[in-house]
Copies of this chain bind each other. A is one copy, B any other.
Amino acid sequence: MAGDYLRNCWYKAAWATDLDAGHLARTILEERILFFRTQGGIAALQDRCPHRFAPLSVGRIAEGVVTCGYHGLAFASSGQCVNNPYGPITEPMKVRSYPVVERHSAVWIWMGDPELANHDLIPDLSFIDDTPKTARNYVYIPTAANYQLATDNILDLTHVDYLHPDTLGGPITGAKSRVFRRDDLIVVEYVNLDCEAPGIFQRKIPSPATCDYWVEVSWRAPGAMVLTTAAVPHGQPRRREDEVQVLHNMTPETRKTTHYFVCGTRKYRMDDEALSKVSREAVRNAFLTEDKPMLEAQQDNIGDADFWALKPLILSGDAAAIQVRRDLAKLIAAENAAV
């Protein structure tokens, strides 16, 4: 079980706003964790009191301390017991504490050796911070499929022509694509110069006019992907300010369930909050009615089988996804070998 996941890395645990209530109980890599805000930041503790295994998340949280709602042991954000109503505080009175950081509007958690939890290893998603809030939208959708299936989905965009024909689909068929490495990223790019604009860009570039279309997805372990796309009237130059950038970030909850985070940003009409709301609903709707059912049907068909044992047919569009699966497998193997 431990060896199924990469552990020495930062996982997105939540959008920062998911902690607006002050705390959040969420399972990450099969471990139940309580997140709560403290004066200085955020704490992440194993959500199980060491006394009688009550979830700490049903206790009381105040001033950076969680008090178990069953018998009253209290723990600080370090995991150290700070109050035992029945006697002295002894050495085993503590719960596991996880390194946790708030950055890029999100809560990040380190599931491996705390000594290695270097903040510089958090994926650089400063494009979110650089976008005015009025031009961002956040989505969180729990999905009953392995996170690698969700990752494959974004790395092989040939699916949009079939799964999202009315909104995103169209330009991928006939596009030129290439897969390459850029720093520690694996990148896949599709470019179609002179095609009909996909549904979402039809208002901007209505048929029979044609467009120049590009989309790029970059992946960084364990599961942060940035998708950058635009369509401009055919022949116009490729400009950053026409682009939409969307984060797709997958975190394993269990082997068969995934925390799926999306953050859409754009470089145009950036003060138009109504447009952000429309965009958010469009993304959410496409995911809920098209991607999520497909991912969950795949997972259901795979069941408990190992993905590779089922001998998946390899198509050209799988190049990036397979490279990513191999990289991840190597990283996990290296981590397990080091233990």
Contact = CB atoms under 8 A, between A and B. Distances in A.
A216 interface: no
A53 B306 CA distance: 12
Please tell me how many copies of the chain the complex holds.
Answer: 3
A161 interface: yes
B163 A70 contact: yes
Contacts of A317: 71, 86
Interface in A65-90: 67-73, 84-87
B52 A152 contact: yes
A50 B312 CA distance: 6
A42 B298 CA distance: 25
Interface hub of A32, A294, A315 (most chain B Cβ within 10 A): A315
A277 to B, nearest CB: 29
Contacts of A236: none
B93 A158 contact: no
A71 B312 contact: no
Interface string A153-174: 0001011011100000000010
A313 interface: yes
Contacts of A316: 86-87
Interface residues of A, number: 46
Contacts of A51: 312-313, 315
A260 B158 CA distance: 41
B70 A162 contact: yes
Given A86-B316, A87-B315, A294 B69 contact: yes
Interface string A285-316: 00000000110011011100000001111011
Contacts of A235: none
Interface SS majority for chain A: loop
B72 A301 contact: no
A92 interface: yes
A86 B315 contact: yes
A301 B54 contact: yes
Contact of A54 (B72, B92, B297): B297
Contacts of A301: 32, 47-48, 53-55
Interface string A313-334: 1011100000000000000000
A200 interface: no
A116 interface: no
A209 interface: no
Given A294-B70, A301-B32, A93 B313 contact: yes
Contacts of A70: 159, 162-163, 294, 298
A141 interface: no
Contacts of A302: 53
Contacts of A68: 162
A58 interface: yes
Interface in A235-253: none
Interface of A: 32, 47-48, 50-55, 58, 67-73, 84-87, 92-93, 149, 152, 156, 158-159, 161-163, 173, 293-294, 297-298, 300-302, 310-313, 315-317
